[in-house]
Amino acid sequence: MEHAEHIAEAVSYTKDTFLQIDGIVTWIKLFLAIIIPLISGFGLATLVLQFLVKPALVSILVNPNLGFTEDGIAYMLQYLAVVIGLIFVFLFPYYQGYLSRSMKTRDIIKAEDFSGLFFSGWKINALLIYYLLPLIAIFLIYAALFALLNGVLDNIFAGEIAWLGTVMDYVLIILYIIIEFATFIFLALFGSIGLVHLARTGSLKDSVNIGKISALIKRIGWYDYILCIVIITLILLSVAVLFLGLAGIFSYAAAANIIIFGLMVIVMIPTGVFVTRYLANIYETAFIEPEEDIEEFDDF
C-alpha cells in the first residue's frame, strides 16, 4: 500500500476544501460552530457556578480546619466551567457532522445544512460514547475498589509496615493505568475505522460489531492500518505539542491561552478533515480486489 499517495490525496482534498473563497467561508462557519457552543456553555456555567454554587461552597469549605480559600474555590470552578463549555461542543456536534460528511464522499462539503450536520454529528457522538463506555466502566470499578481497599490496606499494613500500604496504593494505580491504556489502544484501533464505516453505511450496529470491523481491518492489512493510526497520532500530537509550547512561552497567561486556543481551533479544523480523509482512503482499500499476477508465457 502506498501511504504517500493516500496522504497526498488527503492533503489535496483539504486544500480544495478550504483554500478557496467558498472554503474560507466554510472554515469560518465551522470555527463559529465550535466557538459559539463553547462560549455559550462556558458563560452559562460561569454564571451558575460563580454566583450560585460558589457562595454555598464558600460557606461550607472556607474554615481553618479545611484550608480552602474563596479565591481557590473560584479558580477551581472556572476549570469546571471550561469542561462544561467543551461538553456543549459535544452536545452541538456540527463539526463532527462535517467530518462524517467528508469521510463519506470525495465531494467538497459546504457547511450549509446545519440540521443535517447536527444529526450526522450525533451519530458520531453515539459511536464515541459506545467505545468510551468500557473506559468509564474500568474507571468506576477501579474507583470503587480503591475506596474499598484503601481503608482495609491501612488497617492491615499499620505501624512499622505502613509503608507497604503506600506501595500497594502505587501498585494499584499503575495497574489501573496499564489496564486503562491497553483498553484505550484496543478501542481506538476498532473505533477509528468504525467511524468511517458509520459515515459510509449509516449503520451504528455494524460500526460497533468487533467481528465485522476486524474483518475490514484484515482486508486492509493490520500493518498498513496500524501504520495509518501511528501517522495520524503523530500528526495530532505534533499539533498539540506546538500549541502547548506556545502557551508555555507566554507562561500560560489567561489572555494568551484564549488567543492560542482560538488559533488551535483554526488549525485543527483542516487538520481534522485531513486526518479523517486519510483514514477514509485507507478504509477504501478494504474493497479493492487485489490484482492477479498473470504471467505471459510467450516462449511456449
Domain boundaries, the chain: 3-287
**Cβ–Cβ < 8 Å for 132, 144:** no
**pLDDT single digits (tens) 183-231:** 999 999 999 999 999 999 988 888 989 899 999 999 999 999 999 999 9
The contacts of residue 276 (CB under 8 Å, 6+ apart) are: 99, 102, 103, 195, 196
Task: Show the cell assigned to 25.
Answer: 467561508
Q: How far is CA 1 from CA 29, 198, 221, in A?
A: 36, 23, 9
**pLDDT single digits (tens) 147-178:** 777 666 666 666 666 666 677 777 888 888 99
Please report the pLDDT score of residue 291 as a whole number: 60
pTM of the complete model: 0.85
Low-confidence ranges of the chain (pLDDT < 50): 297-300
Please report the pLDDT score of residue 215 as a whole number: 92
Q: How many CB atoms lie within 10 A of CB 277?
A: 23
DSSP H stretches of helix in the chain: 3-18, 21-48, 54-61, 70-91, 94-104, 114-156, 162-201, 204-207, 210-220, 222-249, 254-284
